[in-house]
Amino acid sequence: MAELLPLTEELSCSICLEPFKEPVTTPCGHNFCRSCLDETWAVQGPPFRCPQCRTSYQVRPQLHKNTVLCSVVERLAIVEQARAPGDGWTPPVRAAAPSTVAQVACDHCLKEPAVKTCFVCTASFCQEHLRPHLDSPAFRDHPLQPPVRDLQRRKCPQHNRLRDFFCPEHGECICHVCVIEHKTCSPMSLSQASADLENKLRYKLTIMYSQINGASKALEDVQARQQGVQEATNRKIEQLRQEYLEIKALIDASEASSTRKIKEEEKRVHSKLDTIHQVLLKKKSEIQALKEKIEDGLKEGDEFEFLEKASKLQGIVTKPVYVPKVELDHELIHCVYQGTLDLKNELKRATRQLQERKPKEAPGPGNP
């Protein structure tokens, strides 16, 4: 997997940090998921800027699908799926079916523990009462299985037959009579369906681990950006404070107004980033919870119990992490700062003119 890591990073969207999904190319040559770029520009509005190089477009560019890049991403996904999960992660192993010899009683004598269960007779038998199945040719076509608990629960409530098939289209176990009603579906044996769903859940689990890693990186990025916003505003406020030291006695109110505008801008951006941070935390928590459920499901040894849980978990869809672009309004900050410089120069000019006029306006000795 290590040799594919650089290629994986090159084939990841810089907005959602996930492999490209329907990649499109901007006029400046950068690639993004179509949905990520659409959502970013919908929030941003005109002028539309490239999230990577910040190139500005007054009119929203026409985007076209990058078919070559899409094909490469699909091929990489197939390669990654075929490889065993690595990077220190070991998929959970399903527990073996527990031994139930001492837990299932013989249905004939109700005393001795059962050693086999007959799915044709739908009953479990101890060693003594199993003899007819072993000795008599009449029971030769009765398949015997290890003792099974709660056979009644495994029966089809409609046809009173054991449910020994699974319908993927409806996500339920069915009996051989139900197969006729599901003729347009693709029923399969319990063991085959269990193996198929287990493989799908394992693959889904690898994707979820990747999404969790993406969410963690996104959270770190948001925290770093919050720190950067705070440092940027602190530096600008300090510059303003140095300028106002010269004119503080005359324009205390102006200094307070300018500082308030920048603080409000910081609060606005910080609030948006904090909201994004909370959403990411919640999404990560939801994915983590679903991951734990899948891991618990994969430890279920009983195929029947596993299929009932796995079919529900397989239907739950998780979405990749999306972090919209939120930045300080540097134009606003620059205008505030430039206004301060202009005001200082204007005050200096006015003060100098006033000082130059004083000798002329001062009354002479002979003047009243």
Contacts of 103 (CB under 8 A, 6+ apart): 113, 147, 149
Per-residue pLDDT reduced to its tens digit, 55-86: 888 888 888 888 888 878 877 776 666 554 44
* Sign of the alpha-carbon torsion through 142, 145, 149, 150: negative
Cβ burial of 165 (10 Å; 0-12, 13-18, 19+) is buried
Q: What is the pLDDT of residue 364?
A: 45
For tokens 């319990």, name the residue. Answer: 190
- pLDDT the model gives residue 244: 66
In the numeric block, the tokens 């969410």 are attached to: 215
Yes or no: domain 2-82 corresponds to CATH 3.30.40.10: yes
**Calpha distance 283→105 (Å, rounded):** 47
DSSP string for residues in 105-144: B-TTTSSSBPSEEETTTTEEE-TTTTHHHHH-GGGTT--E
Asked if residues 347 and 249 have their Cβ atoms less than 8 Å apart, the reply is no
* Buried-state track 229-257, b at ≥16 Cβ within 10 A, e below 16: beebbeebeeebeebbeebeeebeebbee
pLDDT in tens, 98-154: 444 447 889 888 888 999 888 778 788 999 899 899 888 888 888 787 888 777 778
Give me the pLDDT at residue 213, please: 83
pLDDT of residue 226: 93
pLDDT at 91: 54
Q: Other CB atoms closer than 10 Å to residue 166's CB: what's the count? A: 25
Task: Write down the domain spans for the chain.
Answer: 2-82, 101-148, 198-352
Judge contact between 321 and 214, C-beta under 8 A: yes
Q: In angstroms, what CA-CA distances link 117 with 123, 150, 202, 303?
A: 6, 11, 31, 16
Beta partners for residue 244, in sequence order:
none
Residue 335: predicted pLDDT: 92
Distance CA 254, CA 175 (A): 82
- Could you check whether the bond before residue 47 is cis, i.e. omega within 30 degrees of 0? yes
Residue count of the chain = 368
Average pLDDT along the chain, 368 residues, taken 10 residues at a time: 52 80 89 87 82 86 85 73 51 51 77 86 88 87 81 81 86 87 86 84 82 86 91 90 73 80 92 91 90 88 85 84 85 91 85 71 44
**Mind listing the pLDDT tens digit for each residue in 341-351?**
898 888 888 77
